[in-house]
Amino acid sequence: MSRYIPSLRGWIAVLLPLVGGAAYLAFLPMRFVQSGFGTFISEPVTLPAWIIGGVLVVLCVAACLEAFRRGSRADRIAASFAAILSLWLIHEYFAFMLLPVRPSPI
């Protein structure tokens, strides 16, 4: 039965992008979607938020690689799921680089 449950490597690989990605989005400014104007943010992203996001992305990718390289079959399945979550985190990280900054419409 225990061979079907991921080890600590697999759980870390899954929980790091899941919990870390949700917590990282709390550091970023609000994203507005306005009809006719597109998507924009209300204030620039701070330097500590960029650094935390970059470190989090590197840690998530390293955890996925570690679980896939040295883990069991269950760890590899967990690492595959964690890779999808890491791609979501990378997408969100780079999406904020391209969003224009406009004052809040409120």
Tell me the per-residue pLDDT of 22-33, one tens digit each, with 9 for 90 and over: 998 888 888 777
What tens digit of pLDDT does each residue of 66-83 get? 999 998 899 999 999 999
Over range 34-50, report the average pLDDT.
81
- 54, part of any domain: yes
**Structural domain for 10, as ranges:** 2-98
- 38, part of any domain: yes
Over range 9-30, report the average pLDDT.
90
- 57, part of any domain: yes
- pLDDT attached to residue 104: 62
Mean pLDDT, rounded, of the chain: 87
Over range 86-93, report the average pLDDT.
93
Over range 54-60, report the average pLDDT.
95
pLDDT > 90? residue 34: no
- pLDDT attached to residue 40: 79
Number of structural domains the chain divides into:
1
Report the 3 state secondary structure along the chain: CHHHCCCHHHHHHHHHHHHHHHHHHHHCCCEEEECCCEEEECCCCCHHHHHHHHHHHHHHHHHHHHHHHHCCHHHHHHHHHHHHHHHHHHHHHHHHHHCCECCCCC
For residue 93, the one-letter residue type is Y
